[in-house]
Chains A and B, each alone.
Chain A
Amino acid sequence: MTAPDPKRAFWAGWWACTPFVFAAVPFGLLFGVVARDAGLDLLQTMAMSVVVIAGAAQFTALALLVDQAPVFLALAAGLAVNLRMAMYSAALQPHLGHAPVWQRMVMAYLMVDQAYAVAGQHFEVTPAMHPADKVAYYFGAVLLVCPLWVAATFTGAVVGNAIPPALSLEFAAPICFIALFSPMLRTLPHIVAAGVAVVGAILFSGLPVGVGLICAAFVAMLAGAETERRLTRGRS
């Protein structure tokens, strides 16, 4: 294990996350615009982005509230969309679980998709990294994207409809998620898992919002791990 160099690790995480600026900013702008169109005031719009920091869940809950759905339904749907983060939490735990509890609370608050995809992936490929450097790397990654998410929401809420619809900002979300997982498709088990996830998402699309996502992801995870197990068994 090399000597710790948290400052360097922080900036490495920060730089690794910079490409996501181009996806998080449009998505945040869009949330600001949509929230104001839905009748939220500036404070409410900002509160949602600061308290929740999870684009997909914010859009889901807001859409249901606009349709006059009861609180528990909007809440259940939003939480279901965010259940994937329990899997991120479990995947990051072996690398970051050693940190003091207050740091883990801050990490949890800021645990966005990019945090898992960038930091979790980096830890996976560089296992020799010092534990202190892993913490610094994580904070570098999230401290770029999270403040930008909030700033973009604010800009969207204020500038509002001056943003031309032809830019199709709503498509920045799927493009961002594709950019997150496509570099991970390095081995056959990873490709199998991704393929199963797509098929599962189609088959389970009839289930309530979020539930189908969790089912598809769960089956895909099993498929990836099982493929890996069979491949290693065949080799030995």
Chain B
Amino acid sequence: MIDPVTFWTTTVALGLGTFLIRFSFLGFLGRRTLPDWALRHLKYVGVAVLPALVTPMVLGPALQAGALDPMQVDPVRLISALVALGLGWRYSVIWAIGGGMGTLWLLQALI
């Protein structure tokens, strides 16, 4: 059981902190423009953050303390992720989601 005071403190503080993170540049810079070098870096935010977020989710327990154990990689998850990546790259978002989950279910049924 999670203590209610602990829960509410965490939730309210997390909500507030998250809001400030989201507001940061958009809120405090306003109309001011960022220098060119900063804009050039920001173009790569999406392709930098999202793959780094996904990698541990796909590799799961195979990834521990900075080391990758290839024998522990779940082939079903890895293949589904790669199918989603290929379909999203070649076609579109909807193909990536449908194809990725579809592959996962198909392989789970087979293996």
Binding site for B on A (CB under 8 A): 19-20, 22-23, 38-40, 44, 47-48, 51-54, 56-57, 61, 65-66, 71, 74-75, 78-79, 82-94, 96-98, 101, 104-105, 107-109, 111, 113, 116-117, 120-121, 124, 166-168, 171-185, 189-191, 193-198, 200-206, 212-213, 216-218, 220-225, 228-229
Q: Given the complex, which residues of A lie within 8 Å of B30, measured CB to CB? A: 97-98, 101, 104
Q: CA of A53 to CA of B21 in the docked complex: distance in angstroms?
A: 13
Contact B66 A205 (CB under 8 A): yes
B110: CB under 8 A from chain A? Answer: no
Answer whether A94 and B39 are a contact pair too, CB < 8 Å, given A194-B51, A197-B47, A213-B53: yes
- Give 18 new A-B contacts, CB below 8 A, not counting A61-B10, A86-B24: A19-B92, A22-B97, A52-B11, A75-B14, A78-B17, A90-B25, A91-B46, A108-B23, A167-B105, A171-B104, A173-B57, A174-B54, A178-B50, A179-B93, A181-B88, A194-B48, A216-B52, A224-B44
Contact A89 B23 (CB under 8 A): yes
- Distance of A214 from chain B, by nearest CB (Å): 8
Partner of A220, one of B9, B51, B54: B51
Q: Count of A-B contacts with CB under 8 A? A: 298
Answer whether A40 and B12 are a contact pair too, CB < 8 Å, given A23-B97, A104-B23: no
Nearest 8 Cβ contacts at the A-B interface: A182-B88, A224-B44, A51-B15, A220-B48, A179-B96, A206-B66, A201-B55, A108-B23
Contact A19 B94 (CB under 8 A): yes
Interface of chain B residues 76 through 98 with chain A (CB within 8 A) = 77, 80-81, 84-89, 92-94, 96-98
Q: Given the complex, which residues of A lie within 8 Å of B92, measured CB to CB? A: 19, 183
Contact A175 B43 (CB under 8 A): no
- Distance of B26 from chain A, by nearest CB (Å): 5
Contact B14 A174 (CB under 8 A): no
Dominant secondary structure of chain B at its interface with chain A: helix
- Distance of B29 from chain A, by nearest CB (Å): 5
Q: Given the complex, which residues of A lie within 8 Å of B58, measured CB to CB? A: 174
Binding site for A on B (CB under 8 A): 1-2, 4, 6-15, 17-19, 21-27, 29-34, 37-59, 63-68, 77, 80-81, 84-89, 92-94, 96-98, 100-101, 104-105, 108
Partner of B51, one of A121, A166, A198: A198
Q: CA of A48 to CA of B41 in the docked complex: distance in angstroms?
A: 33
Contact B14 A52 (CB under 8 A): yes
Partner of B11, one of A47, A213, A218: A47
- Distance of A86 from chain B, by nearest CB (Å): 5
Residue ID in chain B nearest A176 by CB atoms: B97
- Distance of B93 from chain A, by nearest CB (Å): 4
- Distance of A220 from chain B, by nearest CB (Å): 4
Contact B51 A181 (CB under 8 A): yes
Q: Given the complex, which residues of A lie within 8 Å of B105, measured CB to CB? A: 167-168
Q: Given the complex, which residues of B lie within 8 Å of A176, measured CB to CB? A: 97
